[in-house]
Amino acid sequence: MKQKFTMMLLLFTSGFSIVNAQWTKAGKFNNVVNDMLVIYNQLYIAGNFSQYDGGDCFFTAYWNDSIMTKTTDALSGTGVRRLLNFQNTLYGTNALNFPINKGLAIYNMNTWYSESGITSPQTGIYANNNYLFVGSDAGILSRKSTISTMYEKLTDSIGGAITAITEYNGRMIVAGNFTTIKGGSYNHIAAYGTNFTALSSGLDGNVSRLQVYNGKLYACGTFMNAGGNPAKFLARWNDTTWSQVGGGIVSAGTSGIMDMMVYNNALYIVGEFSKAGNANAMNIAKWNDTSWTSFGYNKPGYISSIEAYKGKFYVASYSGDSAILYKTAITSGINKFNHESINATIYPNPAKNQINISLDDDFDVKLTYEIISLDGLVQLTNKLNGTDTTINIDALKSGIYIIRIKGENGEYAMRKIIIL
């Protein structure tokens, strides 16, 4: 599951409709891209590749909208699988051959460093405000807290790989390539708390991603049925029953839905398919909780990953022996687009001397920030300086504050911060 520390601010704009997006090439990797994530105001790309545009690039690269920085440290293994921002640090689950610790690493100074306490290949990863969770190929679910470097094993009784983790309605959800937990029947997905709980009869095939959207849990993968009912590649759980989404997915291929992303109050899916509901949507589609939208995408291969960065959508299309990175302007890729949102990384949190606000995109409207004490008094306020703003907080006392970003017309978004 893709995770961002995101503040959403809806700014109403005039509606328009453009059906066909103009997709352009941003580069070529020699193997599949497994994940993409925006952090440190860069687009990070991870996968099984060892080259980018003919030069060495081992499993990871990052893009600043014009230049690709390659990882040239020749790590061995089969690749990096998932990326996650936890406490403003980039983590990657992987199957890399570190000498001792394996399966989880931190990216720093253009290479990966293994994380102690994890010793086998991992895929699933998720974080909330308190914990980082990882799931292994051997069915082990582990976590560490924000104030600890030690990993706690929560369970080792899942009968197969954990490929996706999230939270839904106050419970952890784990999914992947398994059909049993502690000898009981749990088909590819289960809720975890004090005990495991089945989600109806589960799914009949592997799960690649989990995403919560508009109060419902979405699962995607290569399954054909959910809860005993047809739901090819994509299913929705409302805490009681499973259902297919918007008329279902049509595909002649077997790769399934490989990635999902929530952006601007819509769910985006990518993979190998030809239709979503009534929309002729080749390998990428948008779901607004009512209907599907096509992007007019027609590139060869299937799409393995999607991310939004600096006003563009990026997708990685894999075809046989290479993965092409394509991009399109977001305003060209959305039908009936009538909202804009702020995607802001605020770090560090907790903070001592300064706080940084990093926006993924430039905005036409003027934005300001306010730091507000819990008694409702504004302690600091000023305009945001483009996409990156540093705030000096030396004058503030230790405690909990609210940081609020405001638009010109009074719209706002808030997040809690801790000042040491």
- 326 and 393 inside one domain: no
Q: How confident is the model at residue 2 (pLDDT cuts 50, 70, 90)?
A: very low
Whether residue 349 is predicted with pLDDT greater than 70 in this model: the reply is yes
Domain boundary among 275, 307, 340: 340
pLDDT in tens, 291-321: 999 988 989 999 999 999 999 999 999 998 8
Q: Which of 221-230, 240-249, 365-374 has the lowest mean pLDDT?
A: 365-374
Residue 108 half-sphere exposure, CB side, CA atoms within 13 Å? Answer: 7
Q: Mean pLDDT over residues 59-70, rounded?
A: 96
Domain boundary among 288, 322, 340: 340
Q: Is residue 1 part of a domain?
A: no
Q: Are 165 and 172 in contact (CB under 8 A)?
A: yes
CA terminus-to-terminus distance, the chain: 31
Cα–Cα distance measured from residue 293 to residue 277, given in angstroms and rounded to the nearest whole number: 9
- 101 and 140 inside one domain: yes
What is the token pair recorded at 329? 């302007």
pLDDT in tens, 34-47: 999 999 999 999 99
Q: Is residue 48 part of a domain?
A: yes
Cα–Cα distance measured from residue 66 to residue 53, given in angstroms and rounded to the nearest whole number: 14
- 102 and 42 inside one domain: yes
Q: Are 341 and 13 in contact (CB under 8 A)?
A: no
Amino acid, single-letter form, for residue 109 = M
Q: Is residue 360 part of a domain?
A: yes
Q: Which has the closest alpha carbon to 202: 168, 174, 183, 169?
A: 174
3-class DSSP state for residue 387? coil
- 90 and 160 inside one domain: yes
Q: Is residue 326 part of a domain?
A: yes
Q: Mean pLDDT over residues 236-249, rounded?
A: 97
Host domain of residue 152 = 23-340
Q: Is residue 15 part of a domain?
A: no
CATH number of the domain within which 119 lies: 2.130.10.10
Residue 377 pLDDT? 79
CATH number of the domain within which 381 lies: 2.60.40.1930
Q: Is residue 135 part of a domain?
A: yes
Residue 131 pLDDT? 96
- 358 and 243 inside one domain: no
Residues 6+ apart with CB under 8 A from 67: none
Residue 361 pLDDT? 60
Amino acid, single-letter form, for residue 93 = T
- Give φ, ψ of 295 to 5 degrees: -105, 0
Q: Is residue 13 part of a domain?
A: no
Q: Mean pLDDT over residues 135-155, rounded?
A: 95
Amino acid, single-letter form, for residue 360 = D
Task: Give per-residue burial for 350-381: e unless 16+ CB within 10 Å, then b.
Answer: ebeeebbbbbbbebeeebebbbbeeeeeeebe
- 284 and 390 inside one domain: no
Q: Are 356 and 64 in contact (CB under 8 A)?
A: no
pLDDT in tens, 68-78: 999 999 999 99
- 403 and 353 inside one domain: yes
Whether residue 333 is predicted with pLDDT greater than 60 in this model: the reply is no
- 207 and 300 inside one domain: yes
- 280 and 367 inside one domain: no
Residues 6+ apart with CB under 8 A from 182: 157, 196
Max Cα separation, the chain? 62
- 404 and 336 inside one domain: no
Whether residue 17 is predicted with pLDDT greater than 70 in this model: the reply is no
| Residue with the larger pLDDT of the pair 405 and 46 | 46
Q: Mean pLDDT over residues 55-78, rounded?
A: 96
- Which CA distances in Å does 42 have to 53, 271, 374? 19, 24, 33
What is the token pair recorded at 419? 């000042």
Residues 6+ apart with CB under 8 A from 232: 223, 224, 244, 248, 249, 250, 251
Q: Are 242 and 235 in contact (CB under 8 A)?
A: yes
Q: Is residue 14 part of a domain?
A: no
Percentage of the chain lying above the pLDDT 70 cut: 88
pTM of the complete model: 0.76
- 161 and 56 inside one domain: yes
Q: Which of 62-76, 92-106, 163-177, 333-347 has the lowest mean pLDDT?
A: 333-347
Domain boundary among 323, 340, 357: 340
Q: Which has the closest alpha carbon to 91: 125, 121, 61?
A: 125
- Which CA distances in Å does 81 have to 68, 163, 313? 19, 9, 20
- 158 and 217 inside one domain: yes
Whether residue 4 is predicted with pLDDT greater than 60 in this model: the reply is no
Whether residue 97 is predicted with pLDDT greater than 90 in this model: the reply is yes
Q: How many domains does the chain have?
A: 2
Size of the chain in residues: 420
Name the average pLDDT for the chain.
88
Residue 362 pLDDT? 58
Residue 10 pLDDT? 38
Task: Look up tokens 């453009």; give the residue.
Answer: 18
Q: Which has the closest alpha carbon to 236: 264, 257, 265?
A: 257
Q: Mean pLDDT over residues 120-125, rounded?
A: 97
